[in-house]
Chain A
Amino acid sequence: MRRRNIEAGLQQTNPQPPRTKEATPTIFHDLAGLLTHEDLDRARDRWRVARARWGGGRWKVGGGARLLWLLVGPGVLVFLGENDAPSMLTYSATGARYGIGFFLPFAVATFFAGFVVQEMTVRLGAVTHRGHAELIFDRFGKFWGFFSMGDLVLGNFLTLVTEFIGIRAGLGFFGIRPGIAVGASLVIVLGAITTGRYWTWERITLALAAFNGLFIPAALLSHPAWPEVGRALATWSPLPRGNHAEIITLILATIGATVTPWMLFFQQSAVVDKGMQPRDIGMGRVDTILGAALASICGIAAMLATVPLFRHGMGSGQYQAAEFAQALEPWIGHTGATLFALGIFEAGIVAAITISTSSAYAFGEVFRTGHSLNRPLRDAWPFYLTLLGSAGAAAALVLIPRFPLEYVVLTVNVIAVLAMPPALAFLLLLVNDRELMGEHANGTWANLGGVAITALLICAGIGYAIATVFPGLLGG
């Protein structure tokens, strides 16, 4: 295998690391010319991880808080990034339309499903050091590769549009004009990437993502009926009643709020860019669980925050963020409504950063141009241009007068779910590829989980198709 050959070659030429320059074998002088800025930055990050593991003169078993702090990132970012504007609006819509009931435990279950598939991308990235798009192209060829890319590009672009709708609507609550809201957000996206350092970008985005927690005080201000919450979580009831087509669409949108193709591509590429190695897989899992748990809590908070609309029979006629915040104001007060609107803005901006980065990673991997946030702007301009270009195009679309924004918001999560089964098929093929993964290939339980999730997504898609084409068939 190619990977083992390189390792064997290096071990042969470098049985012990040289202590002095004089002792340095020729191979290192040769490699000095090949090492890039990206390699040096990644090695610096790895040195900090090594120091954290090494501790006070001996290896620390299991790592520790410092190690977690250094290795946390891709998992938290992917889940809080997916708690984006359309996702939070979906949770809000279910809370306003159906109150506390089935959708609460269902949303939690989707985060479990999300963890199962995202954990596979951690292993793939840490073991192969290649992005998801790159692996699909390498292993399955251009034909299947471009199909996957087509799904990703379409899904990412539509989702990016909805992020800017959220940004516009969230800041619109404060009377900020759309052009200024969208322009300022693009400046934030630009600010995050101009650091030329993955670590700095990750920490800036994590800091922004922490504001997803704004939905928690907004939910507390709605004074949730905790016994009802407990009952719903335990019994998955009461079941939603009414228009079956609408319920199926909301079920699909709720799944699409947690399990989407861009997440697979993003987390694997971020794991690679962060420089994670097989020994970091354990911490990668902790990072992913942490992300799923935090996103689950914030998602439920968004759902609970809008329950007063259900209680007062106001439904969810409007799916745009500003209307939700305004409609909630009489029930959760100006502070609660402000927190809700800021939360929608935050959800949009973090997702705009992560999803445009996911597109840029995939572009760089497929066209074999530099694709790392550790690269300076001048070295990887196609990567940064794709990142900013996709964000800029989506932002511009939102500013077109009379553009049917509400339809994009409604369908984007549904499209994400419908495009997911082929993405999961490639994920399962790759993570079962023992030539690539060796001992880190999927076990029986992971495969069962992956196949079950794929089957459920297909069933949900078929249900949606039946409800759309034959609306009378399902009744309701």
Chain B
Amino acid sequence: MKPDERATSPTGAHESLAARAQTPDMKDPAVVLSLLEADQVVAAKREPFGRRKLSPGMQALLWGLRVYVAAMLVIVLISILRAV
């Protein structure tokens, strides 16, 4: 984002006001909220993002990778047993 655009966007404008203060008054929620993005506040993060539907192809890929990891862990076990 260019500086001009940032200064005219809501967050940028609020932040610039806060930035002018020599020491921010953190007891003022307006100051805190001008510095943080709305969904950056801890209270806002309690709400989970919704589930995403996985296509059958994607599910097959994830299962394939899961089988790959399981098989590889067996290989590692074989390798360790041989080394011992």
CB-defined contacts of B80 to chain A, threshold 8 Å: 407, 411
A36 to B83, CA, bound (A): 53
Q: Scoring A residues 14 to 26 as 1 if CB is less than 8 Å from chain B, else 0, what string do you get? A: 1101100100100
Chain A residues within 8 Å of B49, by CB:
2, 128, 130, 135, 138-139, 436
- On chain B, the residues within 8 Å of A28 by CB distance are 28-30, 33
Distance in Å from the Cβ of A375 to the closest Cβ of chain B? 9
Is the CB–CB distance between B78 and A469 below 8 Å?
yes
Tally of contact residues, B, Cβ under 8 A:
61
Residues of B within 8 A of A40 (CB): 26, 32
- CB within 8 Å for A14 and B33 given contacts A47-B24, A465-B75: yes
Among A9, A34, A469, the residue within 8 A (CB) of B75 is A469
Specify which of A129, A277, A411 is in contact with B76 (CB 8 Å cutoff).
Answer: A411
Please report the C-alpha to C-alpha distance between residue A436 and residue B78 in the assembled complex, in whole angstroms: 42
In the complex, chain B residues whose CB is within 8 Å of the CB of A59:
3, 6-7, 16
Known: A17-B17, A47-B18, A139-B52. A277 touches B65 (CB 8 A): no
Q: Given the known A-B contacts A411-B79, A415-B73, are A43 and B35 also in contact in the complex, defined by CB atoms under 8 Å?
A: yes
Residues in B with CB closer than 8 Å to A50 are: 15-16, 18-19, 35
In angstroms, Cα B74 to Cα A469, docked, is 10
Given contacts A11-B10, A42-B36, A421-B69, contact A140 B79 (CB under 8 A): no
> Knowing A47-B24, A139-B51 touch, does A151 contact B32 (C-beta < 8 A)?
no
Interface membership of chain B positions 40-84, coded 1 if the CB is closer than 8 angstroms to chain A and 0 otherwise: 111111111111101000100110011011011101101110111
Interface assignment of A312: CB less than 8 Å from any CB of chain B: no
Cβ of A175 under 8 Å from chain B:
no
Q: Decide if A24 touches B28 in the complex (CB within 8 Å).
A: yes
| A281 nearest CB across to chain B (Å) | 10
A144 contacts chain B at the CB level, 8 A cutoff:
yes
Tell whether A433 is near chain B: CB-to-CB under 8 Å.
Answer: yes
Asked if residues B41 and A34 are in contact (CB atoms below 8 Å), the reply is yes
Collect the chain B residues with CB atoms within 8 Å of residue A411's CB: 76, 79-80
B38-A7 in contact (CB<8A):
yes
- CB of B65 within 8 A of CB of A425, answer yes
Q: Are B72 and A418 in contact (CB under 8 A)?
A: yes
Let me know if A24 and B31 touch, CB within 8 A: no
Chain A proximity of B38: nearest CB distance (Å)? 4
Q: Answer whether residue A381 sits at the interface, using C-beta atoms and an 8 A cutoff.
A: no
A2 touches B47 (CB 8 A): yes
Cα A59 to Cα B8 in complex, Å, equals: 12
Q: How far is the CA of A414 from the CA of B58 in the complex (A)?
A: 26
| Cβ-defined contact, A138 with B48, below 8 A | yes
Nearest-CB residue, chain A, relative to B65: A422
- With A11-B10, A18-B30: A277-B37 Cβ-Cβ less than 8 Å: yes
Q: In the complex, how many angstroms separate the beta carbon of A417 from the nearest chain B beta carbon?
A: 9
What's the Cα separation between A415 and B73 when bound, in Å? 7
**Also in contact, A418 and B76, with CB within 8 A (given A34-B41, A43-B24):** yes
* CB neighbours of A140 from chain B (8 A): 51-52, 54
Q: Is A39 in the interface zone, CB < 8 Å from B?
A: yes
| Pairwise interchain contact B35-A46, C-beta atoms closer than 8 A | yes
Measured in the bound complex, the distance between the Cα atoms of B61 and A260 in whole Å is 20
**Cα distance A469–B82 in the bound complex, in angstroms:** 10
Q: Mark A114-154, 1 if CB is under 8 A from B, else 0.
A: 00000000000000111000110111110010010001000
A324 interface hit (Cβ, 8 Å) = no
Contacts of B79 in A (CB 8 A): 411, 468
A residues less than 8 Å from B54 (CB atoms)? 140
A174 at the interface (CB under 8 A from B): no
A7, A60, A147, A279: the one within 8 Å of B39 (CB): A7
B7 A425 Cβ-Cβ under 8 A: no
Binding site for A on B (CB under 8 A): 1, 3, 6-7, 10-11, 13-21, 24, 26, 28-52, 54, 58, 61-62, 65-66, 68-69, 71-73, 75-76, 78-80, 82-84
Across the A-B interface, the 7 shortest Cβ-Cβ residue pairs = A59-B3, A50-B19, A54-B19, A418-B72, A138-B49, A46-B35, A28-B29
Extra 8 A-B pairs, beta carbons < 8 Å, given A24-B28, A24-B30, A465-B72: A17-B31, A44-B24, A47-B19, A135-B49, A277-B11, A279-B6, A422-B65, A425-B65
27 inter-chain pairs at a CB distance below 8 angstroms, sorted by A residue, are A3-B38, A6-B38, A9-B38, A17-B17, A24-B30, A28-B28, A28-B30, A28-B33, A31-B29, A32-B29, A34-B43, A39-B42, A43-B24, A43-B31, A43-B35, A44-B26, A58-B3, A59-B6, A128-B49, A129-B45, A130-B49, A407-B83, A418-B69, A418-B76, A422-B66, A465-B75, A468-B82
